Structure 1
Amino acid sequence: MKLVPKKENRTAKDNDNMQGGKSADQVRKIVPGGLKGRISSLKEHLPKQFNPSKSVGIRLFLIFFIAIMFFVLAIGIISYQMAKNTIQDNAELANQQTIVQTSQKLDIILQKYRDNLQQTFLDEEMQKAITDALLSDVTDYDRFVTSTKLQTRLNTFSLTSPGVIGTYMMGEEDNFDIVTTGNVDQKFLDSIKEQPWYDTVSKSSETFWTNVTDYESSGSGVFRLVRSIQSVNGMKRFILVADIRLDILTQYLNELDLGEGSRVQLLTNDNTVVTSSVAEQEGKTTDVDLSKVGTELLGGIRTKDGNKQPVLAVYNTQATSGWKLLGTIPT
């Protein structure tokens, strides 16, 4: 037999259960659960149509950011160019000093050749032999003896002047035979009166330095010293020529190191290469653009080489020969 609770007790219990269930549902509705609930809540608070490009704050930020970056970039480029120009100016000055020092060394060498040739000509025995050679009433034997004396004095010049491989001596008188010693360039000897400097040196005391592009005698390339001098006794004019080995000058150019890829050349007035630190350029026109070089005896320019590559070119003009010593460095 089952016992049935009283109606009043059932009603009170049911009321308590209903109140408890209602409170739990309300809590679940008020406090959303987990991360998804938080994200959904944020989305509900954002503007319905949000466009960053139309935001005033973002626009101001971009304007200031671009302006600052442009300013920093401009300062960086200007600083780089200033530093580059400073480095190039310092390199130009240092290389210019090196070229000038080497040029002065070459001047000393050329001056010694010129002075030694003059001293040989003005030697007392040489002058006596010249006087005897100009006599009209001499026998062939006497002429041979006189010629031998002249050759001996010229040989003395060759022995005391390293690099001299051949000498020539001719007078303005027809009865004076040309005297030669050492290696003789026969082609030059046959055309000596056709040389561009002959008319000048046959009329006045002058000194010429010439490059030789068609040297036919054996051995290395040469350059020539041409000297016109008057005799002491009869005041007759004589022309003396000395062939000098080109490597005497080349060795000084090879000693120079202006930097990686640098090159040193010795040029005539028409920019023909006399000798170079790079082999097989002798007799050719330099490929460096020297159109910007004016009448200054020394200086530096920024130009291009034969490959159209930018180079720094520094130069100095020789005091003795008038040739130009040129050094080029890639930039």
Structure 2
Amino acid sequence: MKNVRLENPVKSVGMKLFIMFFVSILFFVLTVGLTSYNISKGVIQRKVADASEQTVIQAGQKLDLLYGIYEDLSLQIMLDNDLKKMLDDKETINKSSYDYLQLRKSLSDKLNVFIYSNKTIRSLHLLSKEGEPITSSGSGSFQNSVQNEEWFKKIIDANGKALWLETKPKGYADQSGAPTFAIGRSLKSSSNNNVQAVMLMEIGIDTLGKEVDQINMGEGGITSIATGKNKVVYTENKDLIGADSTTPLTEAALQENSGNLLSAKGDMQIVYYKSAKTDWFLVGAMPVGELVKDAKVIQGMTWLMAFIAAIIAVIIGFVVARQIGRPIVMIRNLMKEGEQGNLRVRTNINRQDEIGQLGASFNQMMEKITALVQQTNLSAQEVLSTSTELSEASKKTAMSAKEIAVATEEIAGGASSLAVESERGNELTAQIGQQMKEVIQSNVQMGTAASEVHKSSEQGIQYMSELIQKTNKTEQMTRSMVEKVDKLKESTRSIRKILEMLNNITKQTNILSLNATIEAARAGAAGKGFMVVADEIRKLADQSRQSIEVVGQITETIQREIDETVGVLSQAYPIFQEQIGSVKEADEIFKQVQDQMGGFINQLEEVTESIQKLDQSQVVLSDAMSNVSAVAEESSATSEEVASLSNEQLNISNGLVKLSEKLEELSNSLKESLSKFTV
């Protein structure tokens, strides 16, 4: 028996059964193992996240107690009567006097009392409502106004409520100091509720570090305090303070008081607590890999069991493939020989299972095919002789039908050409009629437009007359403006002389104040009051000198602009003269347009009459072409019907010839195919 090999062994039944057993066992083992791993990982992660959340909540509540201490202290400062009285007195004392210096010292001493009561406070500052520094206690002080600082504006807008300010890496007052966060309040007067001062309390971040650093987030974990805008208030890494948080909270989390979530990449477990005092977030972040590292034992066991299951699957698959695959290959080889025409092949499988039944069915099938081939061979001989006679009769019928169809097509072609030409003439007539209507409509629109242009030219002549009159008035006004500017020029010269005289007076006042100061210094303590008066006179003289210089600069600017105005007006006067000439020429052009439009309207009326006569002739021509087209179409339809019947008869005859030929070919082919079988 001849063996036949498969071109691709992977497509064999044995190999498919082997792959099916292998993949099924491995799939179920891996599915159960990895599912157990993922469930265990999720449970561990959830439990650790819940425990960490409770730890962060407790730490956050301790921080709220700490924040409350500073808020109470700031409220105590705001309600201190001695401090309020000193701030009221500040408004009535001259800032350049000795008493004002004593008041600032008293305020500083008062602030020192509060700092000594709490060693964690870095510094206390009092600022005016305009942002000017009043006094400071502790490390650092403000040197310039902070009115434009965003945090200062927020304190003013808080209207006396405590406002917590985020950490600045170098502090608020001393820009070279250590990082501090702050609390601010507006101090108001008891009598009129006006803002007396703005209090700013700077606190070192070590205060937060003592509480936050005690929270253990595990290896690789991070604990920090951040604002609602994800700005870092405190973290163990001082370089990140004031920057954007590396573990930002989502918009949904910012609305909750506490909770836990995963980072955007899914690699960090985040727990948070929102402070009821500051609205800051205490955030703890832990690497997910560290949380679930104990669950990796299940993952390792899963891969080990998968390796053992793979070996078992290979053994089972090999046995099954050998018991089922070999007999199927044998039947396959026998069927290949039967395919090549050998109908004598038979199987010798004596098994009682489905494969044995398949072998017996194969033998019966080959017996029946052999009998069928013998009977078919006899029938094919009879069909071949009958198809030859049918083919000759069909060829004669087809030749006759072909000659009739050719004659009928020539008649139908002539009728169709006549109908097409008639239809084309009718379409051209309709197009001419449509174009005539468009010409008539365009002619009417042209007449209307010509009448409107005629009216517009009359209005243009009227407007040009008014424009000539207004241009003449403009020329007179320009001439008058030049004269008034010259007078204004003389007035500025007089102002400059007055300013020179005031400047001399200011210089004399400075000399007198200097002499008064010298005399007051000679008089000693008795001349102290006179020295203050002399100093005020000198300041007043300096202010007068500065004002005179400003007025002098403004006067010079006015003088320069007046000179430029005179030059521009001098250049504009000749242009006005040319404008008057151009307006008169335009008036003459409008009059000529009006005369020519009158003649154009008369010519349009004559063209309209000619077009109306042409339209009537076109209607008569259209009716005649419609009658011709109807007759031609009726003739064409009758010819086409006859041609269609002739073509149908020809197609039937040709089909009959082809069927006869095909039957003859099939008979020959069947005879050749049956000759290949060995019976």
Q: Quick check: 1:95 aligned with 2:52?
A: yes
1:245-284 to structure 2, matched below 5 A, reads: 245-284=204-243
CA distance in 2: counterparts of 1:314 and 1:191, whole angstroms: 41
Render the CA deviation track for 1:59-103: whole Å, top value 9, x for unaligned.
889856754543332122222111111111111111111111111
- Residue aligning to 2:246: 287
CA distance in 1: counterparts of 2:39 and 2:244, whole angstroms: 35
Letter in 2 for 1:142: D
How many residues matched?
275
* Deviation of 1:298 (Å): 2.0
- Residue aligning to 2:259: 299
Letter in 2 for 1:128: K
* Deviation of 1:193 (Å): 0.9
CA distance in 2: counterparts of 1:181 and 1:244, whole angstroms: 13
- Residue aligning to 1:16: none
Letter in 1 for 2:69: K
- Residue aligning to 2:198: 239
* Deviation of 1:191 (Å): 4.1
Specify the SS of the correspondent of 2:54.
helix
* Deviation of 1:300 (Å): 1.5
CA distance in 2: counterparts of 1:194 and 1:277, whole angstroms: 31
Render the CA deviation track for 1:195-246: whole Å, top value 9, x for unaligned.
2133343352232222213434554211121112323344232310011111
1:173–1:251 Cα change, 3 Å = closer
* Deviation of 1:311 (Å): 0.7
Q: Quick check: 1:73 aligned with 2:73?
A: no
Letter in 2 for 1:196: E
1:308-323 to structure 2, matched below 5 A, reads: 310-323=267-280
* Deviation of 1:134 (Å): 2.9
Q: Is the Cα–Cα contact under 8 Å of residues 170 and 178 in structure 2 kept in the other structure?
A: no
Letter in 2 for 1:198: F
Q: Quick check: 1:198 aligned with 2:152?
A: yes
* Deviation of 1:163 (Å): 1.7
- Residue aligning to 2:62: 105
Which residue of the other structure, out of 140, 143, 150, is the alignment partner of 1:184? 140
Q: Is the Cα–Cα contact under 8 Å of residues 168 and 242 in structure 1 kept in the other structure?
A: yes
Q: Quick check: 1:207 aligned with 2:162?
A: yes
CA distance in 1: counterparts of 2:96 and 2:18, whole angstroms: 110
- Residue aligning to 1:50: none
CA distance in 2: counterparts of 1:235 and 1:291, whole angstroms: 41
- Residue aligning to 1:8: none
Q: Is the Cα–Cα contact under 8 Å of residues 207 and 227 in structure 1 kept in the other structure?
A: yes
Q: Is the Cα–Cα contact under 8 Å of residues 232 and 245 in structure 2 kept in the other structure?
A: yes
CA distance in 1: counterparts of 2:38 and 2:251, whole angstroms: 22
CA distance in 1: counterparts of 2:145 and 2:85, whole angstroms: 28
Query: Which structure has the larger Rg over C-alpha atoms?
Result: 2
Q: Is the Cα–Cα contact under 8 Å of residues 309 and 330 in structure 1 kept in the other structure?
A: no
Render the CA deviation track for 1:95-139: whole Å, top value 9, x for unaligned.
111111111111211221121122023123223322322335899
CA distance in 1: counterparts of 2:39 and 2:95, whole angstroms: 78
CA distance in 2: counterparts of 1:302 and 1:139, whole angstroms: 61
Structure 1: gaps (5+ residues): 1-52
CA distance in 2: counterparts of 1:219 and 1:81, whole angstroms: 50
1:56-71 to structure 2, matched below 5 A, reads: 66-71=23-28
CA distance in 2: counterparts of 1:95 and 1:300, whole angstroms: 9
Which residue of the other structure, out of 254, 264, 285, is the alignment partner of 1:328? 285
1:29-48 to structure 2, matched below 5 A, reads: none
Q: Is the Cα–Cα contact under 8 Å of residues 117 and 157 in structure 1 kept in the other structure?
A: no
CA distance in 2: counterparts of 1:177 and 1:63, whole angstroms: 85
TM-score, structure 1 as length reference: 0.72
Q: Quick check: 1:221 aligned with 2:179?
A: yes
Q: Is the Cα–Cα contact under 8 Å of residues 120 and 153 in structure 1 kept in the other structure?
A: no
1:115-126 to structure 2, matched below 5 A, reads: 115-126=72-83
| Mean CA deviation greater in 280-289 or 94-103 | 280-289
- Residue aligning to 1:35: none
Q: Is the Cα–Cα contact under 8 Å of residues 266 and 323 in structure 1 kept in the other structure?
A: yes
Specify the SS of the correspondent of 1:114.
helix
Letter in 2 for 1:145: Q
Q: Is the Cα–Cα contact under 8 Å of residues 93 and 99 in structure 2 kept in the other structure?
A: no
Q: Is the Cα–Cα contact under 8 Å of residues 172 and 236 in structure 1 kept in the other structure?
A: no
Q: Is the Cα–Cα contact under 8 Å of residues 133 and 144 in structure 2 kept in the other structure?
A: no
1:198–1:84 Cα change, 3 Å = same
1:139–1:287 Cα change, 3 Å = closer
| Mean CA deviation greater in 249-258 or 128-137 | 128-137
Render the CA deviation track for 1:126-171: whole Å, top value 9, x for unaligned.
2332232233589933333332222122111111122212111123
1:55–1:142 Cα change, 3 Å = closer
CA distance in 2: counterparts of 1:97 and 1:138, whole angstroms: 55
Specify the SS of the correspondent of 1:178.
strand
Superposition RMSD in Å = 3.2
CA distance in 2: counterparts of 1:158 and 1:232, whole angstroms: 24
Structure 2: gaps (5+ residues): 1-9, 289-679
Specify the SS of the correspondent of 2:160.
coil
Letter in 1 for 2:164: W
CA distance in 2: counterparts of 1:253 and 1:93, whole angstroms: 18
Q: Is the Cα–Cα contact under 8 Å of residues 200 and 206 in structure 1 kept in the other structure?
A: no
CA distance in 2: counterparts of 1:292 and 1:171, whole angstroms: 37
- Residue aligning to 1:41: none
1:130-169 to structure 2, matched below 5 A, reads: 130-135=87-92, 140-169=97-126
CA distance in 1: counterparts of 2:230 and 2:112, whole angstroms: 33
Letter in 2 for 1:193: Q
Q: Is the Cα–Cα contact under 8 Å of residues 170 and 179 in structure 1 kept in the other structure?
A: yes
* Deviation of 1:178 (Å): 1.1
Specify the SS of the correspondent of 1:319.
coil
Among all aligned residue pairs of Structure 1 and Structure 2, give the percentage whose two residues are the same amino acid.
Answer: 26
CA distance in 1: counterparts of 2:156 and 2:251, whole angstroms: 36
CA distance in 1: counterparts of 2:47 and 2:280, whole angstroms: 25
